[in-house]
Each structure stands twice: as C-alpha cells, then as structure tokens.
A = this chain, B = another copy of it.
Amino acid sequence: MTEIPVISGDAVFRAIDARTAIECTREAFERHARGEWRMPAKVYLDSSPYGDFRAMPALGEGLALLKWVTSFPGNTAKGLPVVRGEVLLSDADTGEELAVIECSSVTSLRTGAAAAVSAEALAPEGAKSVGIIGCGVNGAWSGRCLASAGYGPGVCADVRDERAHALAGELGWRVGERPEAAAQEVVVTVTPGNQPVILASDLRPGQHIAVLGADAHGKQEVELEAIERCRLFCDEWEQASAGGELANAVEARAVGREDVTQLGDVLNGDRGRTSDDEITLFDSTGLAIQDLAICRALYERWRAGEVEAPVVTL
C-alpha cells in the first residue's frame, strides 16, 4: 500500500512562483538538449467534437512523469476550462507512485515560463517593453513570468476586454489594441490560432516574438510572410514541425529543419540572435520535460513539508 499526496492547483500556485517556474523551465530545456532528460512523443486521444486528450510522458532525474491533459477549445463557451487533467509522478527506479498533481496549474506555469526563458535567451540586450496578445490563463502567466524576469511595462490585448483589463491591472501595465501590443519589443501570443495575430506589417527590427498558442495541426498565430522574416527557434523540432506554429510553414516548404534552432541548444551554447536588428521567433508547443521540472520542484517542496496536500492510499 502506497500513500501519495494529491496536490491541488491552488497548492501548486502557492508552492511555485514565476521565478521558480522560469528556473525549472530553463533547466528542463538544457537537460533535454543534453539528452539527460527524455521524452517520447505525446499521444493524442481524439474526443471529437469536443477536443482531444493528450498523454505526455517524460523521464529525468530519477523521476517519471505522465501528464494527462485536455485541449477542449469549445469548453470556454460552456464556462469550463480548456486545459484540465492530472500529472502523475513516479519513481523512475522502482516505479513507485509518488504524487498526483493538478495539471492546468503546472501547464500555465511552464507555458508562461517558456516565454520568459525564450526572451532572456533571444531578445536583444535592453529590450524591455512587452505585448501580450491573448490574456487568458496562459497569456496571463506569460505576463507574470516576464514581469518577474524584469520585463515590462507592457500592453495587454485581448478580444475579451475584461481579460486584458484584469491582467493589465494586476501587473500595472496598460490595455491596448492588438497592433499596439504587436509593436512592443517582446511580444507573446497565446490565442486559439484560428487567425493570424502577428502580421508581416507588425514586425519591428529587434523584436522577440514568443508564439505559444499553436499546439495542434492547423492552428496558426503568425502570417507565413512574417515567419519568413524571422530567425526561427522552437522548443522541440518534432512537435513544432508537426503541430506547432511552424507546421504550416514546413508544409508550405518555406521552413526546413536547418532553419530552426531548438531553445535548449541555444541555452547550451548554440548560436541564438545574431544581430540587434534581427527578429527572433520562438515557437513553444509545450514539452513534458517542462512539466517534469516544475513537478520535481513541487514534489521536493512537498517532501520538505512546504506544500499542503491530502495524502491518500492507493
């Protein structure tokens, strides 16, 4: 009989702040790029017409993780979360079950943190101003993580006015229209990807753009013509070229493997930005190794008695 904690989303947010999420996410990219942490491809379980479930495994640092997470775009209209599910953490050496963790909290933290890690690695020295296009849960966490990393002030844009106001109010930033947000030095997009929110005409020299919304085939937040003008980066080529922002450009043969550098390789010393005027674009599809890094920190804090969670018997 094994006893394990079940850690709620509230407990996750109390235990892991933006700064910790950024450190964990950076470590995840570095370790993965060095081959120390591993991650088979995620599996999609189609649940049409509602969306799909994804099973995302990862292994590293003596831990094995499985994230079971939905992407149900229609849920928003029903007042339900688009992203929900659980993370299971196990001991990689014995298989022992270690924890059940609420999953949307972990997802938000590592998604927002990826935007900040990409800005720290790729934005030019001195770039500070931020544009957030799409101020939902993950857009808000991108803003929080960028603010925590010293970026800002920023412009918050969302077709849902109240979302933009809430985030701007929280961070002491301001609300603006999409083109104004798209003109900032560091721009983050987290929209459903039904239509481009970064046009070629929006681009300014030296910008860094983190594209977080596209996580399945057919979604696209950036005009192809804009993509062609950027120096390209991604979290993982396989995911990004198959179902991320870059997928359409790859399909159109405008972009190939040799045109795109993985962020982990940049963190480990590969060439990132090559000039102050260049525009860098980071395609974030979301990796299970990022979840692993967050959950590892969380579990260590729980073991240290710093996280409140009910313990159940399996």
Whether a CB of chain B sits under 8 angstroms from the CB of A159 is no
Are A88's CB and B85's CB within 8 A? Answer: yes
* B contact residues around A2 at 8 Å (CB): 84
In the complex, which of the residues B47, B68, B90 contacts A85, with contact meaning CB atoms closer than 8 Å? Answer: B90
In the complex, which of the residues B45, B75, B86, B90 contacts A70, with contact meaning CB atoms closer than 8 Å? Answer: B90
Given known A-B contacts A43-B43, A86-B88, A88-B68, A80 and B55 have beta carbons under 8 A apart: no
Q: Which of A21-29, A94-102, A263-271, A279-287 contacts B (4 or more CB under 8 A)?
A: A94-102
Least CB distance from A184 to B in Å reads: 33
Least CB distance from A15 to B in Å reads: 15
Copies of this chain present = 2
Whether a CB of chain B sits under 8 angstroms from the CB of A181 is no
Q: Which of A126-134, A168-176, A221-229, A306-314 contacts B (4 or more CB under 8 A)?
A: A306-314
Complex-state Cα separation, A53 to B46, whole angstroms: 22
A50's nearest neighbour on chain B, judged by CB, is B93
* B contact residues around A8 at 8 Å (CB): 1, 312-314
Whether a CB of chain B sits under 8 angstroms from the CB of A272 is no
* B contact residues around A44 at 8 Å (CB): 40
Are A90's CB and B68's CB within 8 A? Answer: yes
Whether a CB of chain B sits under 8 angstroms from the CB of A136 is no
Whether a CB of chain B sits under 8 angstroms from the CB of A257 is no
* B contact residues around A97 at 8 Å (CB): 84-86
* B contact residues around A6 at 8 Å (CB): 6, 100, 312, 314
Are A53's CB and B312's CB within 8 A? Answer: no
Whether a CB of chain B sits under 8 angstroms from the CB of A41 is yes
- Interface size in chain A (residues, C-beta < 8 A): 47
A95's nearest neighbour on chain B, judged by CB, is B70
Whether a CB of chain B sits under 8 angstroms from the CB of A9 is yes
- Which interface residue of A58, A66, A93 has the most chain B CB atoms within 10 A? A66
* B contact residues around A85 at 8 Å (CB): 88, 90, 95, 97
Complex-state Cα separation, A97 to B6, whole angstroms: 13
- Chain A positions near chain B (C-beta within 8 angstroms): 1-2, 6, 8-10, 38, 40-41, 43-47, 50-51, 53, 55, 57-59, 64, 66, 68, 70, 72, 75, 78, 80-81, 84-86, 88, 90, 92-97, 100, 102, 310, 312-314
Sampled A-B contacts (22; CB under 8 Å): A1-B9, A38-B45, A43-B43, A45-B59, A50-B92, A50-B95, A51-B95, A53-B59, A53-B66, A53-B90, A53-B95, A55-B66, A66-B68, A70-B95, A75-B94, A75-B95, A78-B94, A84-B95, A86-B88, A100-B100, A310-B310, A310-B312
* Shortest Cβ-Cβ A-B pairs, 8 listed: A70-B95, A45-B57, A6-B312, A102-B314, A55-B55, A66-B68, A72-B95, A47-B92
